C-alpha cells in the first residue's frame, strides 16, 4: 500500500503496492499557512535561538540556576522586552541620588571614622548602617585623606626648600679646608693669572666668560666643562667673582688646580673699587633693611593660609624667598659693564650650568645692536620653564605694573647670556633696574616676588636678541621627567630650580651630566667625603 500526496497538498491517494489500483482518494482542507509565512517563521526562529541560548548561559553563570529555567528566563527577559530596568540599575540610581544629597550636607559630628577598611566593613555589619550614613562616612574619610595628603605635600615642599637653601657638609668642608690652605700654602696664594698673562684679561681677541658664585665645587664644574668642551681652550678667559668669605678658598682651588691652557682670574666683591655704597645704594638697602631680611629669612609659613593656596603656588612662594635673592653676588651681573670697562663682549654663566659643546660661535652671533643675547622662555609647552610670559613674574593688579608692562610679553632666561658691553654702556639699563627695585621696595615687595629676573626683564626691555634654544636648556632642577636625550643635545644645560645636582634632592638620572666634571681624585674632594653617587 502506498500514500501519494498531490502537488498542492490538497488530496491523499491510497493505492496498491504496484500502483495500478487506487483504493481510496481523500481530500484535505485547504492549507492556511503559505510557504512564505513558513519561511519567515523559520528565519525568525533561527535568528532568536542564539540569543535565547546566550541569555540562558548568562542566567546559569550568574548563579540563578536554582530556579526553573522558564522562571529565570522570564525574570531576565521580561523586564528587557518590556523596557523596564532591573533592580541593580535602580539601586545604582538611588545611591547616586543619596551621594548628591550628602555632597552638600553636613557630616554628623557623632559619626566616628574607622581606622581601616576592615573596621569599616565590620562597623557596617554590626551597626546596620543605612545608605545615607555610609555615604556620610565615605565623605568624611575622603576629606580626611585629602587633608593628610595636602599637609604631607606642604611639609615636603618646606623640607625641600630648607634642603635647597642649605650648604651641604662636604661643600662647606671644601671651602674651609681650601681657605686654611690659602693661609698656609704659598702655592695656593700665587697670583691668578701669572703676571705675564695679565694683559689677556682685557684682550678682546679672547673669549671672556664671567661667573659669579660662592660655591667652589660648582665653579670648578662650570670652568672644567667649558674648557673640556672647547675646540680652542687656549682662547678662554674666565673671570670668577665671589664674596669676601669665599675668596681665599676659591683662589686656592684655581691656583692649585689651574684649567690650563685657559686663563682664570678670581676676584672678590671687596676688590672692585667701583662697588661702593654710593654706586649700589638700593642693593645695600635690600641687604640691610629688617623688613626685607625678615621676608627672606623669617617664617616662610607665617601669613599663609594653606587651605586657600595650592601646593604649586606655595612652592613658588618658597622659591621666591630664597635668601640668595638679596645677595649682592646675585645682583652683580647688572654691573658687568662697569666692573670690566675694557671688555666689549662677554658670556655670563650661572654656577648651576654645565657646558657640553664649544661656545666659540656665541661670539659670532650678530645681536643686531641689542645688548643681551638670550633664549626666550615663552616658546615651549613646558609649564614650569618654557612657557613663561610677564604675567608669570609680575603682579598685574599693581597699578604701575599694569600701566607699564604687557602680561603677554615673552620672558627670557638668565644663566647663559651673551652681553654686548659696548651697546650696554650706551643704554640706561642699570638706572632702570635701580629705579624699579626702589619702586618694589616702596610697594613692600608687592610688584614681584622672584629674585633678580623680574627687574632685569624690565631693564632689558627692547634690548634682547633671541638666540636658538639649543644653546641653553633650562629646568633640570625643576622636573625629574626631563628628557635625557634632549639634555645630551644641548650646548649648555641649566639646573635652575631647587634640585641642584650637588644636593641629595637632585634628580638621580640628571646628576651624571654634572658629576662627570667633578675631580673625585682631588685630595680636598676626597678628604671632605664628596663622593660620586
* Range in 140-144, 192-196, 508-512 the model is least confident about: 140-144
Look at residue 493 and give its three-state secondary structure.
strand
Tens of pLDDT, residue by residue over 299-345, are: 555 555 556 666 666 666 666 566 566 677 888 999 999 999 999 99
> What per-residue confidence (pLDDT) applies to 382?
72
CA triple 229-234-238, angle to 5 deg? 75
> What per-residue confidence (pLDDT) applies to 70?
46
Tens of pLDDT, residue by residue over 150-172, are: 777 767 766 776 667 678 899 99
**pTM, full prediction:** 0.73
Mean pLDDT of 40-66: 58
Name the DSSP class of 114: P
Is there a contact between 206 and 232 (Cβ–Cβ < 8 Å)? Answer: no
In the chain, helix, strand, coil percent, each to 5?
A: 50, 10, 40
How far CA 447 is from CA of 409, 460, 479, 525, in Å, comes to 16, 17, 27, 43
- Whether the link from the prior residue into 193 is cis, omega within 30° of 0, is yes
Q: pLDDT-based confidence at 69, cuts 50/70/90?
A: very low
Mean pLDDT of 254-266: 97
> What per-residue confidence (pLDDT) applies to 23?
47
Cβ atoms within 10 Å of 115's Cβ, excluding its own: 8
Average pLDDT, the chain: 81
More confident residue, 156 or 19: 156
By the 10 Å C-beta count (0-12 exposed, 13-18 middle, 19+ buried), 7 is classed as: exposed
Q: pLDDT-based confidence at 239, cuts 50/70/90?
A: very high
By the 10 Å C-beta count (0-12 exposed, 13-18 middle, 19+ buried), 396 is classed as: middle
Mean pLDDT of 357-367: 97
Is there a contact between 252 and 223 (Cβ–Cβ < 8 Å)? Answer: no
Is there a contact between 456 and 334 (Cβ–Cβ < 8 Å)? Answer: yes
Q: Round to whole Å and give the CA distance between 454 and 329.
A: 17
Spatial neighbors of 396 by CB under 8 A, at least 6 apart, are 402, 405, 407
* Range in 17-31, 217-231, 319-333, 507-521 the model is least confident about: 17-31
Q: pLDDT-based confidence at 419, cuts 50/70/90?
A: very high
Q: Round to whole Å and give the CA distance between 9 and 3.
A: 12
Q: pLDDT-based confidence at 274, cuts 50/70/90?
A: confident
Beta-strand (E) ranges in 220-310? Answer: 236-242, 263-268
> What per-residue confidence (pLDDT) applies to 38?
62
Q: Is the dihedral of CA 123, 124, 129, 134 positive or negative?
A: positive
Q: Round to whole Å and give the CA distance between 241 and 271.
A: 10
Tens of pLDDT, residue by residue over 369-402, are: 999 999 999 987 777 788 899 999 999 999 999 9
Amino acid at each position: 500500500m502506498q500514500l501519494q500526496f498531490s502537488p498542492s497538498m490538497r488530496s491523499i491517494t491510497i493505492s496498491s503496492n504496484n500502483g495500478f489500483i487506487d483504493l481510496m482518494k481523500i481530500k484535505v482542507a485547504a492549507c492556511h499557512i503559505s510557504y512564505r509565512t513558513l519561511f519567515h517563521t523559520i528565519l525568525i526562529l533561527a535568528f532568536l535561538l542564539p540569543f535565547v541560548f546566550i541569555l540562558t548561559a548568562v542566567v546559569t553563570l550568574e548563579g540563578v540556576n536554582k530556579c526553573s529555567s522558564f522562571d529565570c528566563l522570564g525574570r531576565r527577559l521580561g523586564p528587557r522586552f518590556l523596557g523596564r530596568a532591573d533592580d541593580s540599575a535602580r539601586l545604582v540610581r538611588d545611591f547616586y541620588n543619596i551621594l548628591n544629597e550628602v555632597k552638600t550636607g553636613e557630616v554628623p559630628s557623632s559619626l566616628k571614622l574607622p581606622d581601616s577598611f576592615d573596621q569599616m566593613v565590620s562597623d557596617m555589619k554590626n551597626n546596620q548602617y543605612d545608605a545615607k550614613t555610609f555615604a556620610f562616612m565615605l565623605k568624611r574619610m575622603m576629606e580626611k585623606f585629602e587633608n593628610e595628603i595636602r599637609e604631607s605635600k606642604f611639609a615636603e615642599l618646606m623640607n625641600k626648600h630648607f634642603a635647597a637653601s642649605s650648604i651641604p657638609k662636604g661643600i662647606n668642608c671644601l671651602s674651609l679646608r681650601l681657605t686654611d690652605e690659602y693661609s698656609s700654602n704659598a702655592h695656593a696664594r700665587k697670583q691668578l693669572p701669572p703676571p705675564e698673562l695679565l694683559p689677556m684679561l682685557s684682550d678682546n681677541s679672547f673669549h671672556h666668560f664671567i661667573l659669579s658664585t660662592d660655591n667652589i665645587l660648582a665653579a670648578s664644574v662650570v670652568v672644567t666643562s667649558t674648557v673640556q668642551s672647547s675646540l680652542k681652550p687656549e682662547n678662554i678667559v674666565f673671570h670668577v667673582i665671589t664674596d669676601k668669605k669665599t675668596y681665599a678658598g676659591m683662589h686656592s682651588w684655581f691656583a692649585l688646580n689651574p684649567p690650563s691652557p685657559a686663563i682664570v682670574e678670581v676676584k672678590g666683591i671687596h676688590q672692585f673699587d667701583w662697588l661702593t655704597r654710593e654706586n649700589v645704594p638700593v642693593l645695600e638697602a635690600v641687604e640691610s633693611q629688617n623688613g626685607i631680611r625678615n621676608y627672606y629669612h623669617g617664617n616662610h609659613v607665617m601669613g599663609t593660609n594653606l587651605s586657600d593656596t595650592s601646593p604649586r603656588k606655595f612652592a613658588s612662594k618658597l622659591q621666591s624667598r630664597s635668601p640668595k635673592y638679596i645677595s649682592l653676588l646675585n645682583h652683580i651681573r647688572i654691573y658687568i659693564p662697569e666692573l670690566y670697562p675694557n671688555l666689549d663682549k662677554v658670556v655670563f654663566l650661572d654656577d648651576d650650568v654645565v657646558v657640553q659643546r664649544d661656545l666659540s660661535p656665541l661670539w659670532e652671533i650678530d645681536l643686531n645692536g641689542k645688548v643681551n643675547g638670550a633664549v626666550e622662555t615663552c616658546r615651549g609647552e613646558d609649564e614650569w620653564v618654557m612657557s613663561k610670559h610677564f604675567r608669570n613674574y609680575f603682579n598685574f593688579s599693581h597699578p604701575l605694573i599694569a600701566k607699564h608692562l604687557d602680561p603677554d610679553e615673552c620672558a627670557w632666561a638668565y644663566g647663559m647670556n651673551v652681553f654686548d658691553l659696548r651697546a650696554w654702556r650706551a643704554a640706561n639699563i642699570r638706572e632702570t633696574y635701580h629705579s624699579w627695585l626702589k619702586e618694589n621696595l616702596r610697594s613692600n615687595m608687592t610688584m614681584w616676588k622672584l629674585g633678580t629676573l623680574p627687574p632685569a626683564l624690565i631693564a632689558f626691555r627692547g634690548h634682547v636678541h633671541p638666540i636658538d634654544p639649543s644653546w641653553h636648556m633650562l629646568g633640570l632642577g625643576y622636573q625629574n621627567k626631563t628628557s635625557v636625550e634632549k639634555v645630551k643635545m644641548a650646548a649648555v644645560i641649566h639646573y635652575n630650580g631647587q634640585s641642584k645636582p650637588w644636593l641629595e634632592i637632585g634628580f638621580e638620572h640628571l646628576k651624571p651630566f654634572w658629576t662627570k666634571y667633578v675631580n673625585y681624585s682631588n685630595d680636598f674632594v676626597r678628604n671632605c667625603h664628596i663622593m660620586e653617587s
